[in-house]
Structure 1
Amino acid sequence: MIDMKQIFLITDIPGYSPQISRLLSMMNYARFTTIEEVKDLTVQELDFLMDSKSNSIGALLLHFAAVEYAYQVGTFEKRGLNEEETAIWGPALSLGEEGRNKIKGNELSYYTDQLQTVRQRTYELFKTVTDEWLYTEEEFWAQQQANYYFMWFHVFEDEINHRGQIRMIRKRMDI
């Protein structure tokens, strides 16, 4: 879905309404730069921990997919993760000790496949709504009102934030 000829354009995407197109354009650029940052990493590098409290690059990549999946469920299905989904995505959502213990030993393709599978579902879901849907308001983080536009902005803002961590981890690797 990422059109490399338009990676630097925030523009209309055929099949999507104007605001959703722009949101997807920004999400596509964020994902493109993430993939570029990790494209040559080995399993050892993906699993590298700077210290006993840090996250690995692999865990952060899976976190991106988990966050996006959770927002799909929350905004399109209007529910939280069920028990089965929590078993799959929970370690990547919470990261920390559980993530350090469970997210390791995977090739880069495992993470990029997860990212692509979740993103493909996002593309499909966004085809089912209009720009007006983005302005739907709900309680967010149990304290504030937010609209779906902000929530989906947060999906790629979180990725951009953690990509900064990935860059820092890469600079600290002694492997």
Structure 2
Amino acid sequence: MTSLKRIVFLFVFCFSVLGVNAQYEIKPVEGYTPQIGVMVNMLEDLKSRITEMTHDLSQEETDFLFDDKANSIGALIMHLAATESYYQVETLENRQWTEEESEFWGIATGLGEKQRKELQGKPISYYLDLWDEVRSKTLKGLKAKDDIWFAANVDENVNNHWAWFHILEHSANHMGQISLVKNRLPE
């Protein structure tokens, strides 16, 4: 390769890499205050990755348990939606779940024997649609808040920013579990 060709190749390669890396920037989402916009960007990124890896699962795959202590992918997604719903009403609406909400979401607040038995028989779209509904309310609620609210305490030593960071880390943790379950699906 001649010197000129090498220089052109390196030039093209460098700008190609820069273009690819730009796709992985965390920036505030428009319509939100800066700190909340960054959190929304990260929440939406994780949710889209989980949705992408699960949206086409069959019923058998959605309910699959690879051992007697594992949780199904459906149960894990229901758990993510329930947890977000809880923090949503706690932080955005400054209240607790109603009796009706508690009855509906309560099963999915934990993950264990009861959830392995009861969170079965629904298609993956059921769980993803529920999560979409919860996220839609979350985004609407966060849009109405500002960064001063984000830094304000919900409880002693717990601020709104931490609460939503917890939803973020919770999603990342369960994304790993979902990936593990997918890797254990029978062929």
The Cα offsets for residues 56-79 of structure 1, whole Å up to 9 and x where unpaired, read as: 100001111111100011112223
Answering whether residue 183 of structure 2 is matched by residue 171 of structure 1, we say: yes
* Aligned twin of 1:106: 122
Q: Supply the distance in 2 between the matched residues of 1:18 and 1:163 (Cα, whole angstroms).
A: 26
Mark the CA change 1:100 to 1:90 in structure 2 (over 3 Å): closer, same or farther: same
Q: 2:167 aligns with which of 155, 162, 165?
A: 155
* Aligned twin of 2:147: 131
* Aligned twin of 1:67: 83
| Contact kept in structure 1, 2:91 and 2:154, CA below 8 Å | no
Mark the CA change 1:149 to 1:7 in structure 2 (over 3 Å): closer, same or farther: farther
CA radius of gyration, larger in? 2
> TM-score, structure 2 length as denominator?
0.83
Query: How much identity, in percent, do the aligned residues show?
Result: 39
* Aligned twin of 1:40: 56
Mark the CA change 1:159 to 1:7 in structure 2 (over 3 Å): closer, same or farther: farther
| Contact kept in structure 2, 1:7 and 1:28, CA below 8 Å | no
Q: CA deviation at 1:84?
A: 1.2
Unpaired runs of 5+ residues, structure 1, are: 1-5
| Contact kept in structure 1, 2:75 and 2:115, CA below 8 Å | yes
> TM-score, structure 1 length as denominator?
0.88
Q: CA deviation at 1:162?
A: 0.8
What letter is aligned with 2:159? N
Would you say how many aligned residue pairs link Structure 1 and Structure 2?
Answer: 166
CA RMSD of aligned residues (A): 1.6
Q: Supply the distance in 2 between the matched residues of 1:8 and 1:42 (Cα, whole angstroms).
A: 30
